[in-house]
């Protein structure tokens, strides 16, 4: 074969030079590497006696490539003999790679057949390597995504995390998860890729007509090249972004459909492929398990709350309420003694006051006792460690606590309670909304203030978020900081994430001689 017979000046055969150049281009496209491919194509064409060649490669995961040499340096507007276009395929003809246009010129012999086969052979090898690399990367991404969603037990967080992760996994522009009710209609619609303004312009969420309803009714996956022209579509409402390529996959829990994943528009502008569909189907199986786990956790939590309410009611009735009732009976007797025995009345009242003080202490201790995961630790620093452990167990977010600088502070019980509540709310926000993998809690003395900071590496949040139900936690944290004469601020992390910083005066939170004892002895 002629393409094997003639070597280029650097010692490589034209075929090998083309293989090296295309491999380098596929790994990292650049103008310099495109020039290398052009030189390799020119030498390969020359080695086979072609007057010109034009290569057009359009086959993911290879980058799109068009270039020409010789008489076909520019894209030919028409193809007429002796110029001809030859399709290029890979994977034993199953994958279309693009086409090669050749101009045999005045050459005799095979009219460029050897050049076509050589270029196809090179592209097949390059495509196969790129496909293998992409498959490995996607499997790693699938593993990471499934571990992320199955490590979270809060249902709302899981649902949003599922659509965010599947959108990145499939490299889609938009993703949604439709939760279906008993009547087969979409009851909830969680989206990713749309900002708040775009969601508002779209109006009410879909109810499950058109293609979305088709997937609900038939319970199987769909891969559609262009939903904008599909006859089964219901159409887009006003304000809806234009969408084309589509994947729809059911999410099934133990044979029962709970919803569907919808993805549209690959970010590279190409249509979704079978490999994309298979990847989303694999993710949907893990998503179903994550949804079921979160729902079970929610039910268990509801049962635990019910049992806890029953226990609290019994303990309050049998203990504290009975003590208050006994005090009220004693005061009634004191009223009877008021005229006949004033000394006995005063003694009864003194005993009633002591009993009320004891009941108040019991009630305060009981309220604090509802937070055993904090009170079992030693003060503020230990409580922060307990909170970090709790969040880590439930979310697998790595949380580092640095509180040694404040270890020797004697912080009042009130301040400890408020600061731990702020830290709990901040870490809860990280777990629910930040999509973070790491967080850090810092407690430091910066005279004359104590600084508490909760830092994450998540997606970040506005430094001045718009007031709304989703930001009530921020309002609570700010109110607690103000109750300690402190302030709260929100900063963007470096390079990403969020920093919530609380600064309170040391003089306001430190315990001074006898203050705690006086607080315990004084009714509130």
Output the domain CATH number for residue 23. 3.30.450
Q: Are residues 165 and 67 in the same domain?
A: no
Residues 144 and 125 in one domain: no
Of 280, 298, 316, the domain-final residue = 298
Q: Report pLDDT for 314.
A: 64
What is the C-alpha separation between 145 and 284, in angstroms, rounded? 11
12 token code pair: 């490589």
Judgement on whether residues 116 and 174 belong to the same structural domain of the protein: no
Residues 142 and 172 reside in one and the same domain: yes
What order of strands is seen across the sheet that includes strand 449-456?
Answer: 398-402, 438-446, 449-456, 498-505, 487-492
Q: Are residues 64 and 190 in the same domain?
A: no
Whether 404 maps to a domain, the answer reads yes
Whether residue 52 is contained in a domain is answered as yes
How far apart CA 421 and CA 429 sit, in angstroms, is 12
- Is 225 inside a domain boundary? yes
Largest pairwise CA distance in the chain: 137
Same structural domain for residues 378 and 450? Answer: yes
Q: Are residues 94 and 79 in the same domain?
A: yes
DSSP string, 89-104: EETTTTEEEEEEEEE-
Q: What is the CATH number of the domain that holds 404?
A: 3.30.565.10
Q: What is the pLDDT along the chain (524 residues), one digit of tens a residue?
A: 334 334 344 445 577 888 889 989 988 899 999 999 999 999 888 888 889 999 999 988 888 999 999 999 999 988 988 899 999 998 888 889 999 999 987 655 556 788 888 888 889 999 999 888 888 888 888 888 888 888 778 888 888 999 999 999 999 999 999 887 777 678 788 899 988 888 777 777 777 677 887 888 888 899 999 988 888 887 777 778 888 999 999 998 878 888 899 999 998 888 898 889 999 999 999 998 888 888 888 877 777 666 666 666 666 665 566 667 667 776 766 666 666 677 777 777 877 777 776 666 556 545 544 554 444 455 788 888 878 877 776 667 889 999 887 778 888 888 888 898 898 888 878 877 788 889 999 999 998 999 999 999 998 876 555 444 445 578 888 988 999 999 999 998 877 899 999 999 999 998 764 444 334 433 33
Q: Is residue 367 included in any domain, yes or no?
A: no
Tokens 């303990």 correspond to what residue? 315
Residue 399: strand pairing partners: 439
Q: Domain boundary residue among 108, 134, 160?
A: 134
Judgement on whether residues 109 and 182 belong to the same structural domain of the protein: no
Q: Are strands 186-192 and 222-224 parallel, antiparallel or unpaired?
A: unpaired
Q: What is the CATH number of the domain that holds 293?
A: 3.30.450.40
Residue 347 lies in a domain: no
The whole-number pLDDT of residue 366 equals 53
Of 402, 405, 393, 449, nearest in space to 423 by CA: 402
Beta bridge partners of 178: 189, 260
Task: Provide the pLDDT for residue 305.
Answer: 66
492: in domain: yes
> Residue 488: enclosing H or E segment and its boundaries?
strand 487-492
106/225 same-domain check = no
Q: How many domains does the chain have?
A: 3
Put the strands of the sheet holding 95-103 in their side by side order.
Answer: 65-70, 52-57, 95-103, 84-90
Tell me the whole-structure pTM to 2 decimals: 0.53
Sort strands 246-253 and 256-266 into parallel, antiparallel or unpaired. antiparallel
Tell me which of 274, 298, 322 is where a domain ends: 298
- Same domain membership, residue 466 and residue 387: yes
User: 99 and 53 in one domain?
Assistant: yes
pLDDT at position 106: 67
- Count of C-beta atoms within a 10 Å radius of residue 376: 10
Tell me: do 113 and 219 sit in the same domain.
Answer: no
Domain assignment present for residue 341? The answer is no
Whether 334 is covered by a domain: the verdict is no
> Which range marks the domain in which residue 480 is found?
372-521
């Amino acid at each position: 074969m002629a393409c094997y017979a003639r070597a280029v000046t650097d010692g490589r055969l034209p075929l090998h030079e083309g293989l090296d150049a295309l491999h380098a281009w596929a790994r990292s496209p650049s103008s310099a590497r495109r020039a290398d491919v052009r030189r390799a194509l020119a030498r390969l064409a020359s080695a086979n006696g072609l007057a010109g060649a034009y290569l057009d490669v359009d086959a993911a995961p290879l980058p799109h490539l068009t270039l020409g040499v010789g008489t076909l340096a520019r894209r030919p507007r028409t193809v007429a003999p002796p110029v001809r276009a030859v399709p290029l395929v890979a994977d034993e003809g199953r994958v279309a790679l693009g086409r090669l246009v050749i101009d045999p010129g005045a050459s005799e012999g095979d009219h460029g057949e050897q050049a076509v086969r050589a270029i196809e052979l090179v592209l097949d090898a390059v495509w196969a390597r790129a496909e293998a690399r992409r498959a490995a990367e996607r499997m790693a991404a699938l593993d990471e995504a499934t571990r992320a969603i199955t490590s979270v037990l809060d249902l709302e967080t899981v649902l949003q995390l599922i659509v965010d992760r599947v959108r990145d996994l499939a490299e889609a522009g938009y993703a949604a998860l439709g939760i279906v009710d008993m009547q087969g209609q979409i009851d909830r619609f969680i989206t990713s890729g749309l900002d708040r303004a775009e969601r508002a312009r779209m109006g009410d969420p879909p109810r499950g007509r058109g293609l979305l309803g088709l997937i609900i009714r038939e319970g199987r996956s769909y891969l559609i090249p262009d939903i904008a022209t599909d006859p089964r579509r219901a159409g887009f409402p006003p304000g809806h972004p234009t969408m084309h390529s589509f994947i729809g996959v059911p999410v099934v829990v133990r044979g029962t459909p709970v919803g569907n994943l919808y993805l549209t528009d690959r970010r590279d502008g190409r249509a979704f492929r079978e490999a994309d569909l298979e990847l989303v189907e694999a993710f949907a199986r893990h998503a179903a398990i994550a949804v079921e786990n979160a729902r079970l956790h929610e039910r268990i939590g509801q049962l635990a709350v019910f049992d806890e309410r029953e226990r609290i009611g019994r303990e309050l009735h049998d203990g504290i309420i009975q003590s208050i009732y006994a005090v009220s009976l004693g005061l009634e007797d004191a009223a009877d003694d008021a005229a006949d025995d004033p000394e006995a009345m005063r003694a009864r009242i003194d005993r009633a006051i002591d009993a009320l003080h004891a009941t108040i202490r019991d009630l305060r201790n009981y309220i604090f006792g509802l937070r055993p995961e904090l009170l079992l630790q030693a003060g503020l620093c230990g409580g922060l460690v307990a909170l970090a452990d709790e969040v880590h167990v439930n979310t697998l977010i790595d949380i580092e606590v640095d509180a040694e600088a404040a270890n020797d502070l004697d912080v009042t019980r009130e301040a400890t309670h408020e600061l731990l509540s702020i830290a709990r709310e901040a870490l809860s926000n990280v777990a629910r909304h930040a999509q973070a993998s790491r967080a850090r809690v810092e407690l430091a003395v910066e005279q004359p203030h104590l600084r508490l900071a909760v830092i994450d590496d998540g997606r970040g949040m506005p430094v001045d978020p718009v007031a709304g139900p989703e930001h009530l936690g921020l309002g609570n944290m700010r109110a607690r900081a103000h109750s300690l004469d402190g302030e709260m601020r929100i900063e963007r992390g470096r390079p990403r994430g969020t920093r919530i910083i609380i600064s309170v005066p040391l003089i306001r939170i430190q315990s001074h001689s006898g203050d705690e004892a006086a607080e315990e002895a004084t009714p509130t």
